[in-house]
């Protein structure tokens, strides 16, 4: 038997993804057989045929079998896919971004069919229950929603009802672990009785403490004029916004100009505490102009001087 087998060719081994069909173990000289690609491989070139030579060896194998390729995997929305290859028997894995949870398989393999073993998973956002709203507070959410849960990244801003002031985190967000930051507190803030100003008075101010955002109004004793804001407000620090002052002088918003011109153009005005009105039109006599300046309710006198052929009316601050 051994002597007979010297003239036979043994069954070709599986090699480079190719094999012989059937279960025959020995082949006689001159026998021609066909190779085929094993499961998961596909022919890409060369001949399927090999022949048993008289020496008991097979002719050179030229059939090329390459592993099948699976489709390039896509990253799930809000997630990532990790892989080194996409050929037969390769594996891939999935992960989700912070604040998202994987729903589906974490790993998949490229099958002999050229398809992945499992469908792509989803990354769904973490959810949080509604945040705690402390007494005297409300929360304004980033957008509208339904139900009693919100998704990761959703947030809002706390506001306290006056005269309460917020202490703590003004903004809160649904975190990646499904929790919220610590809610703030609403604390009462008051300001002392507003300060008096020289040559001025408070309008209808009560002798008491005032709450956050409450306002009071100032006025001035004649002939003084108010400089600054007419109202001041109790701020969140428990102090008042800057108060105005009462000064002598003219305020632009209270000056009214009336003029009657016989001919020429009307004057233009500029200046700060001293108002200078320039008549740019040349004229021979001041009687050609009737210019009246008055600060209601009191008339303001004016000084007149002449420079070259231009007239300047200088209204000095009283």
The tens-digit pLDDT sequence of the chain (318 residues) is 455 566 799 999 998 899 998 889 999 999 999 999 999 999 999 999 999 998 899 999 999 999 999 999 999 999 999 999 999 999 999 999 999 999 999 999 999 999 999 999 999 999 999 999 999 999 999 999 999 999 999 999 999 988 889 999 999 999 999 999 889 999 999 999 999 999 999 987 788 899 888 999 999 999 999 999 999 999 988 999 999 999 986 544 444 333 333 334 444 443 333 333 333 333 333 333 333 333 333 333 333 333 333 333 333 332
Question: Which residue from 278, 308, 275, 280 is spatially nearest to 294, judged by alpha carbons?
Answer: 275
Number of Cβ atoms within 10 Å of the Cβ of 76: 21
Question: How far is 37 from 52, CA to CA, in rounded Å?
Answer: 20
Structure token digits, residue 313:
């009316």
Question: Is there a contact between 301 and 294 (Cβ–Cβ < 8 Å)?
Answer: no
Residue 184, strand partner residues: none
What was the pLDDT predicted at 5? 61
93-116 tens-digit pLDDT: 999 999 999 999 999 999 999 999
> 298 exposed, middle or buried (CB, 10 Å; 0-12, 13-18, 19+)?
exposed
Q: How far is CA 115 from the centre of its chain?
A: 40
Tell me the DSSP string of the chain. Answer: -HHHHTTEEEPPPPBTTEEESS---EEETT-EEEEEEPTTEEEEES-SEEEB-TTS-BPPP--EEEE-BPPPPPPPTTEEEEES--BTT-EEEEEE-TTEEEES-SEEEB-TTSSBSS---EEEE-EEEPPP--TTEEEEESS---SSEEETT-EEEEEEPTTEEEES-SEEE--TTS--PPP-EEEE-EE-SPPP-TTEEEES--SS-EETT-EEEEEE-TT-EEES-SEEEB-TTSSBPPP-EEESS--GGGEEEEEEESSSPPPEEEESSSEEEEE-S--S-GGGEEEEEEETTEE---EEEEETTEEEEEE---
Question: How far is 254 from 247, CA to CA, in rounded Å?
Answer: 14
Tell me the CB-side half-sphere exposure of residue 216, using CA atoms within 13 A: 29
What was the pLDDT predicted at 204? 78
What was the pLDDT predicted at 270? 37
Check the CA dihedral 97-101-103-109 and report its sign: positive
CA gyration radius, the chain = 48
Question: How far is 316 from 301, CA to CA, in rounded Å?
Answer: 8
What was the pLDDT predicted at 171? 94
259-316 tens-digit pLDDT: 333 334 444 443 333 333 333 333 333 333 333 333 333 333 333 333 333 333 333 3
What was the pLDDT predicted at 236? 87
Q: Is the pTM of this model over 0.85?
A: no
Question: How far is 81 from 94, CA to CA, in rounded Å?
Answer: 5
> Could you report how far apart the first and last alpha carbons of the chain are, in Å?
139
CATH numbers and ranges of domains, the chain: 2-67 (2.10.70.10), 79-125 (2.10.70.10), 133-188 (2.10.70.10), 191-247 (2.10.70.10), 252-315 (no CATH)
Q: How far is CA 91 from the centre of its chain?
A: 37
Tell me how far apart the 2 most distant CA atoms of the chain are, in Å.
149
């Amino acid at each position: 038997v051994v002597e007979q087998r010297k003239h036979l060719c043994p069954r070709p081994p599986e090699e480079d993804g190719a094999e012989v069909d059937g279960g025959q173990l020995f082949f006689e000289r001159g026998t021609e057989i066909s190779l085929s690609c094993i499961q998961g491989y596909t022919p890409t070139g060369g001949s399927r045929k090999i022949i048993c030579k008289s020496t008991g060896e097979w002719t050179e194998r030229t059939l090329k079998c390459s592993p099948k390729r699976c489709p390039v995997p896509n990253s799930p929305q809000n997630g990532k896919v990790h892989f080194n290859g996409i050929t037969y028997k390769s594996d891939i894995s999935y992960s989700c971004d912070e604040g998202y949870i994987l729903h589906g398989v974490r790993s998949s393999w490229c099958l002999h069919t050229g398809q992945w073993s499992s469908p792509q998973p989803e990354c769904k956002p973490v959810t949080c229950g509604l945040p705690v709203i402390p007494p005297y507070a409300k929360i304004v959410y980033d957008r509208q929603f339904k139900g009693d849960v919100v998704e990761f990244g959703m947030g809002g801003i706390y506001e306290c009802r006056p005269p309460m002031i917020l202490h703590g985190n003004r903004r809160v967000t649904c975190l990646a672990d499904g929790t919220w930051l610590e809610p703030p507190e609403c604390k009462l803030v008051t300001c002392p009785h507003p300060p008096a100003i020289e040559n001025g008075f408070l309008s209808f101010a009560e002798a008491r403490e005032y709450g956050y955002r409450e306002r009071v109004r100032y006025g001035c004793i004649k002939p003084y004029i108010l400089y600054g804001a007419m109202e001041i407000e109790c701020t969140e620090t428990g102090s008042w916004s800057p108060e105005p002052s009462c000064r002598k002088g003219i305020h632009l918003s209270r000056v009214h100009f009336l003029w009657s011109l016989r001919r020429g153009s009307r004057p233009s005005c500029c200046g700060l505490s001293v108002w200078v009105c320039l008549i740019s039109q040349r004229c021979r006599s001041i009687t050609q102009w009737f210019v009246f300046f008055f600060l209601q309710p009191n008339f303001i006198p004016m000084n007149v001087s002449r420079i070259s052929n231009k007239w300047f009316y200088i209204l000095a601050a009283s």
